[in-house]
Structure 1
């Protein structure tokens, strides 16, 4: 059984706005749409690269919303283990039950009650996974609702040991892994793999074999950075102002904030410190709208006061007064040179 990938994604267009469940929006780029087509058609993981704040995680949320598939998110930490992608044994609960039995309480339950299905178990066998782990909170409606597909987000895989990507490749290649209780293979019930979206902040080099088996998308603007920011600002905050002159002032806020961020970004890169990006830009615009709703003149005043706290986050950078939150630092340096 094969998916009709073109039909699944036929409604996606570049620059289209995708509402997300968390209240945010995602603006599709043609690169994202094309990479998603390839990942689904080739049944390969989609590895999303790019600096922090470029929307790597949000892309998985947007894909799940566009496909109307069930989203499962895994945030990787240095203590994350590969088996957590598939299942985890709740040893703490089993010990508590054993102690309760010794004190005249309940008792140790079946092994099935202590094995907690991970995202791949639920994606491969949604109904079968329901028979494991605590089930007291499930309703009959939940048990009957089998999603049409699954998106698994593995966020910041570069924080994990190399056994995590290697184990992931092994399971996706064989399309099965053993049930920890009866050792029977767990396979995709419909023969179709989930869409796996993986993000990396490049903190650790990923295994070469892993990269070769992924579809790789690098998120970077396909236009000037200022234009990129302004376009995303418009997507997140569509104008409702009337008349046209007030809408123009609102556009000036987008433009001024973007130009300031681009300048701070250039200075940060020159100093070798993490630069601000899209996330900081959206945070600032959000604050301006809440502090002065519908009033772009007041928003402009707030912008002049607040931008440094949104964009300059690296503390005191030696010999780089332009990265100081003290508004007079750069002026003093400039006057001394004159």
Structure 2
């Protein structure tokens, strides 16, 4: 999923449980200070923590809270550093060549998330200049040069799960993240940062692969610890208040029961060296119990099934 210039829409339901729009986030620990330091130093903010701990949704929350533009790139094993700066549509260019309708080489270049953040006017102007012939490059055609300057100059960039990539990816980002300058290899054009463009770059890792030391030195690093039970209740409250209406006493009691269960399961998982239920899984269980009327009680068979499916995720575990 890639979200660009506009503020994420406000859905009437929770339409993206793993990547919410940022409204229902409970900021804990030093995260607010970390944002201030990252903006003051121009350094990326690297968030560590277990899957489901809220690393990715924090970036959307900062964008929503401040009404900044939001750009997101989810890293895969095939992602390379230039993919975050720009992409080149080789397939479209080949098709155009076969159809004998080649366009200027820059027409096949599309700005990436870091280009949009570091030089937003340049990225918008480039997009508006590109031709839209109904193929892969989708461009909004508008009249008037002023459209290229009608952009948000403050933004949040999420580079999600960087540990999935080869170590060459973080190494390849050292210069662009440090200088906020880069060169388009296809055209030789230099992209320089715009003076009024301010970007918070949030990078997440599940620590499945160790990151290069040179990359870590250039980041601010914060580890998200799992919330204690009262903080889990606050998380449930934030989600209900944001999407479903007022948080009732029944909701609070349910959240407290589930928070205690999650805490107990995590302590047991520590002893057995098993995986631990995350904040996201706590929310899944909370929403399911709340909507389906499932009681957190050993006598409720539906609770036992839900506990296995949503929290333990192990077959035949009681």
Whether the TM-score (by the shorter chain) exceeds 0.5 is yes
CA shift, 1:23, in A, is 7.4
CA shift, 1:231, in A, is 2.1
C-alpha change, 1:131 and 1:234, in structure 2 (3 Å) is closer
Partner of 1:335: none
C-alpha change, 1:187 and 1:23, in structure 2 (3 Å) is closer
Q: Could you say what secondary structure the match of 1:26 adopts?
A: coil
Task: Assess if the C-alpha contact under 8 Å between 2:24 and 2:235 holds in 1.
Answer: no
Task: Assess if the C-alpha contact under 8 Å between 2:183 and 2:191 holds in 1.
Answer: yes
CA distance in 2, matches of 1:87, 1:289: 44
Q: Could you say what secondary structure the match of 2:207 adopts?
A: coil
Normalized against structure 2, the TM-score is what? 0.80
CA distance in 2, matches of 1:305, 1:93: 49
Partner of 1:138: 140
C-alpha change, 1:306 and 1:142, in structure 2 (3 Å) is farther
Structure with bigger RCO (C-alpha 8 Å, 6+ apart):
2
CA distance in 2, matches of 1:273, 1:299: 22
How large is the Cα RMSD of the aligned pairs? 2.5
Normalized against structure 1, the TM-score is what? 0.76
Task: Assess if the C-alpha contact under 8 Å between 1:123 and 1:194 holds in 2.
Answer: yes
Task: Assess if the C-alpha contact under 8 Å between 1:257 and 1:307 holds in 2.
Answer: no
Q: Could you say what secondary structure the match of 2:231 adopts?
A: helix
Whether 2:71 is the aligned partner of 1:72: answer: yes
CA distance in 1, matches of 2:295, 2:104: 63
The gaps in structure 2 that reach 5 residues or longer are: 1-18, 133-138
Whether 2:278 is the aligned partner of 1:284: answer: no
Which segment drifts farther, 150-159 or 162-171?
162-171
Q: Could you say what secondary structure the match of 1:130 adopts?
A: helix
C-alpha change, 1:129 and 1:148, in structure 2 (3 Å) is closer
Partner of 1:22: 21
Paired positions, count: 283
Task: Assess if the C-alpha contact under 8 Å between 1:274 and 1:314 holds in 2.
Answer: no
The gaps in structure 1 that reach 5 residues or longer are: 1-19, 102-106, 242-246, 316-323, 328-338
Q: Could you say what secondary structure the match of 1:236 adopts?
A: helix
CA distance in 1, matches of 2:121, 2:153: 13
Whether 2:128 is the aligned partner of 1:126: answer: no
- For 1:1-338, list aligned pairs within 5 A: 22=21, 25-101=24-100, 107-132=101-126, 134-136=130-132, 137-140=139-142, 143-190=148-195, 192-221=197-226, 225-238=228-241, 240=246, 247-292=248-293, 303=303, 305-315=305-315, 324-325=316-317, 327=318
CA shift, 1:212, in A, is 1.5
